[in-house]
Structure 1
Amino acid sequence: MSRFDLTGRVAVVTGGGTGIGRGAALVLAEYGADVVLAARRPEPLESTVNEIRALGRRALAVPTDVTDPDRCQDLVDTTLGELGRLDILVNCAGGAETKSLAQWTEEEWHQVVALNLGSVWFLSRCAAKPMLAQGKGAIVNISSGASLLSMPQAAPYAASKAGVNSLTGSMAAAWTRKGVRVNAIAVGAVRAATLVDDLERLGIDPDSVGGTNASGRLGEPDEIGHGVLFFASDASGFCSGQTLYMHGGPGPAGI
């Protein structure tokens, strides 16, 4: 179990106020990490900060627009200034609407790509600098099963997440030899507000979507959080450049 121990390490989790980001942040804190949470809305961040502090860990909320490279650098600088180091980055901020290809505007395309892919590019490069300087670090990118499938109703989102998978491999090839491992998790349907709200808007029962995988249910944010823990900890010390598909197992279609 010592390989999962994160005591003394500092993690930055984007999208950390809700859903998978919150679940990952709490799991990392349970295993000893101090956590900096970043997202646009401060209220959910403060709620999660209080939960982490109740576990006896240090926690900090830093409202951040992760599509802005200057704000990404500010987030890293604040983390170093307040907590003294940066060992783990979890790029979890993301999302998009669901609609047909013809309905997307040019502005919406750019917004989705900036949020899901641009943020990973900008923040990972900022966070890698102190990690490379100390000779050790772990970056975990939250991708999506949409990146591995043909999903016309989520085309810009799927394309941006496919880009995340590619960046994960490229960054791992550049940085692993220098001590910084980079991996991704392509998540399936998880019980997070973004998915549940979108499905309900479309009149789709969220549990019916979960029923299409082998487990017959939606995933829970903390389950993805334990996947993040594996990649963030020394338990995955020989693993870098990988995209793990966590989706409840292949359903009847074998996907």
Structure 2
Amino acid sequence: MDNLRLILFFTLAFLGLLIYQAWQQDYGVPAQLAAEQAAKQNGGLAPPQSGEDSGVPTAAVKADLPRAASGSAVPGEQQGGQNGQVIHVETDLLKLEISTQGGTVQRADLLQYFESLDTPDLKVELLSPSGSDLYIAQSGLIGSEKGEAPSHEAIYQTEQTNYAMGENQDQLVIPMVWKSDNGVTVTKQFTLNRGSYLIGVDYLIENQSGESWAARDYGQLQRVEPDGDGSGFTTYT
């Protein structure tokens, strides 16, 4: 009886293996297809095989994207950047500070949310320009080799330093203007709508240089490492 049970056990195990192999042939995902699916889930970059060049120009990308070289290039809490001013913006949901250096959104408070029930006047701070809590949103344009474009370090001009959404106003537009030496004018325009937390950013280009001009936009979040000593910066693009 024990031998019969042992034979039945191995028979069932062998049949199970055959069924699994047949299922893999009919319904299994091939290794190449699995790699392609993984690549789609990871932003289109397939994991390189052993000894294979991934083809990603890491050095070129890092050199292509302007970054703050040190803490001095990051907009300060009051100064609005190394050379910029602070633009104060308030809607029904948001209270913002935007630096004219790069048009960096350096502070964002959520007016409908507060830190605790005991402190209703202390709103939740989403972005901050100060100290160990530094968390800012930078954006800009990268021009061609021959064309100058305003990065997040460029200085914009604006007609006023305070913008507030009125009671009967549904949209608030904040324009900032940058001009090159050869006749290219870029208006970086922030658009905020009533009832929305979305901050729209558009670039309006006026080319009076007499030559073709091209640029591409980028955005990045910069913050201090939470577990560090506050002396380094982390950038997310």
TM-score when normalising by structure 1: 0.26
Structure number with the bigger relative contact order (C-alpha 8 A, sep ≥ 6) is 1
TM-score normalised by structure 2 residue count: 0.27
More strand by share: 2
Where is the helix percentage greater, Structure 1 or Structure 2? 1
Q: Which has the larger radius of gyration?
A: 2
